[in-house]
Amino acid sequence: MTTDDAFDLECLGICKDFGAFRAVDDVSFRIPSGTFFSILGPSGCGKTTLMRMIAGFETPTQGDILLKGRSVLSVPPNRRNVKMVFQHLALFPMMDVYENIAYGLRCAGAGKDEIAGRVADVLTRVALPDLARRQIHQLSGGQKQRIAIARCMALNPDVLLLDEPLGALDLKLREAMKIELKLLQHQFDTTFVYITHDQSEALVMSDYVAVMNAGRFEQVGRPEELYHAPKTAFVAGFVGDSNRWSGRALEVRADGIKVETEAGLTVVATAFGDGAISAGDAVEVFVRPEFIAATRPGPDAAAPGGNTHSGTVDSVLFNGANSRVLVRSPNGTMIEADVVVTGGGNDLHEGDPVRLDWPFAQTMCFAAGGA
C-alpha cells in the first residue's frame, strides 16, 4: 500500500480560478483502488468544477492530477481513462442502447465481435440484458441511470466519476438506486468518485467521504468518522442532523467546557476540532437528536457526565422509526430529540413536561468562526 499505483486517483494542491473567483482552493486527496469515494458539499461549492478538472474539461490553475501514479494534466479528455456519468446522464438520444454503449468501444478501435461481446456482458452486469435495441426515450429513469453507468463501465475505466446522477430521480427511486450503485461498484470493483449534496447518499454508499465547502475540503474520512468525530463546525452541521447553538465558553473544566448559549441554556460540552478554546471564546455547540434521551420527569438523579434539562413538549414530529419531539426549554430554546413512538400510553404528547439527558461527550463544541 505504499507504492504509488495503489492509488487510482491523486489530486495534489488543486486550485481553480474563474477570473478573480476561486472555485476550488488547494484540494488534495488520494483515493485507494477500488473504493467508493464521495465528495459532499452544498450547492456551488465547486464539486462539479473539481470533477471536470479530473475529467479534463477544465485545466487547474495550480496543482497536479495523477491517475494510476501518472500526471494527466497534459492528456486531453478523450485520452484519459476516466469516465463520467453526467448529472443529466447525457445519453445520446439518436442512438439506441446498444449504440450508446458501443460508441466508446468503437472510439477505442474495438472489432465488431468484441463490441457485441462487451456490450452484452456489461448489459448483463447492470441486469438489463434485453434492452440492447431499445431507444433511449423508451427507458425508465432508473434504467437510463444504469445504461449511463454501463456505457462508461464497458470501457474499463480506472476511475468512474458520477456527478449527482440521482438528482433527477424521484425520492423512491433514489433510495433504491443508492443501494444499487453501491452493489454495482462492488461488482465492477472500480474506483467510483461520487458527487452529491445529499449527506445521506454519501453516508450510505461511501467508503470515504470528503466534505467540501467554498472550494476547500473540510475533512476526509470514513462516514462514521465524519459523523461522530467532525473536525469543523461546518462538517458537524452538514453531516447528519443536529441541534446547533451558538454561545460563549464560560469555563474550561477537566470534564468539558461549560458553555452558555445565546438563549441562556447552560451545557457542558467536549471540545472537537483543532482550535483551542479558552474561557470567554465564542463557540458553536452541536448535539445530535439521537443522543438526547427524552423521558417523563422522574425522581432518579442526573447521571454523572451528562447534561440534564427540563422542558415541555412543543410538538411531536411523527415519522415512524425516525420520530422526534420538539422540546421547548424554560428559556425558549427549541431542542430536538429522537423518541420511540409506540402508540401506547407511555408516549409523549404535546404539552407534557419532559426531561432531557445527554452526555457531555456527545456535546460537540467548536471555536466559532475559527479556521
Partner 1 sequence: MTRDAKRLSLILLFAPFALWILLLIVLPHIGMVALSLREKVAPRIYEFGFGNYIDFLNEPIYWNTLLRTASMSLLVTALALLIGFPIAYYIAKIAGRRARGALFLMCLIPLWVSDLIRAFGWILLLRQTGVISSLLVWSGMTDEGIEFLYNDAAVIVGLVYTVILFMIVPLVSTLDGMGDDMIEAGYNLGGGHLTVLRRIIIPYAMPGIVAGCIVTFMLTAGSYLTPILLGGKNSSWFTEQIYNQFITRFNWESGAAFGFLLLAFTSITVWLGLRLSGQSLANTVART
Ligand X SMILES: Nc1ncnc2c1ncn2[C@@H]1O[C@H](COP(=O)(O)OP(=O)(O)OP(=O)(O)O)[C@@H](O)[C@H]1O
Q: Which of 13, 42, 69, 77 is the binder for partner 1 (CB under 8 A)?
A: 77
Closest approach, Cβ 82 to partner 1, in A, equals 8
Cα-trace Rg, the chain = 25
Nearest in space to 214 (alpha carbons), one of 7, 3, 22, 8: 22
Closest approach, Cβ 46 to ligand X, in A, equals 4
Distance CA 25, CA 15 (A): 5
Q: Under rule CB under 8 A, how many of the chain's residues touch partner 1?
A: 24
46 touches which of ligand X, Mg ion, partner 1, none (CB within 5 to 8 A by kind)? ligand X
Other CB atoms within a 10 A radius of the CB of residue 24 amount to 29
The string of DSSP letters for 85-125 reads: EBTTB---TTSBHHHHHHHHHHHTT--HHHHHHHHHHHHHH
Closest approach, Cβ 193 to partner 1, in A, equals 14
Tell me if 98 contacts partner 1 by CB under 8 A. Answer: no
CB closer to ligand X out of 154 and 212: 212
Tell me if 92 contacts ligand X by CB under 6 A. Answer: no
The answer to whether the CB of 154 falls within 8 A of the CB of 100 is no
Distance CA 326, CA 348 (A): 11
Q: Which of residues 171-200 bind ligand X (CB under 6 A)?
A: 197
CB closer to partner 1 out of 114 and 350: 114
Distance CA 187, CA 34 (A): 10
Q: Which of 44, 111, 297, 351 is the binder for ligand X (CB under 6 A)?
A: 44
Closest approach, Cβ 339 to partner 1, in A, equals 45
Tell me if 227 contacts partner 1 by CB under 8 A. Answer: no
Tell me if 115 contacts partner 1 by CB under 8 A. Answer: no
The DSSP symbol for 303 reads P
Q: Which of 4, 18, 121, 176 is the binder for ligand X (CB under 6 A)?
A: 18
Q: Which of 35, 48, 185, 219 is the binder for Mg ion (CB under 5 A)?
A: 48
Burial letters 298-321, b for 16+ CB under 10 A, else e? eeeeeeeebbebebebbebeeeee
The answer to whether the CB of 49 falls within 8 A of the CB of 34 is no
Distance CA 207, CA 109 (A): 35
Tell me if 78 contacts partner 1 by CB under 8 A. Answer: yes
Of 47-55, 104-112, 220-228, 327-335, which part binds ligand X (CB under 6 A)? 47-55
Q: Which residues bind Mg ion (CB under 5 A)?
A: 48
Q: Which residues bind ligand X (CB under 6 A)?
A: 18, 21, 23, 41, 43-49, 197
Q: Which residues bind partner 1 (CB under 8 A)?
A: 55, 57, 76-79, 82-84, 86-88, 90, 92-95, 103-104, 107-108, 151-152, 155
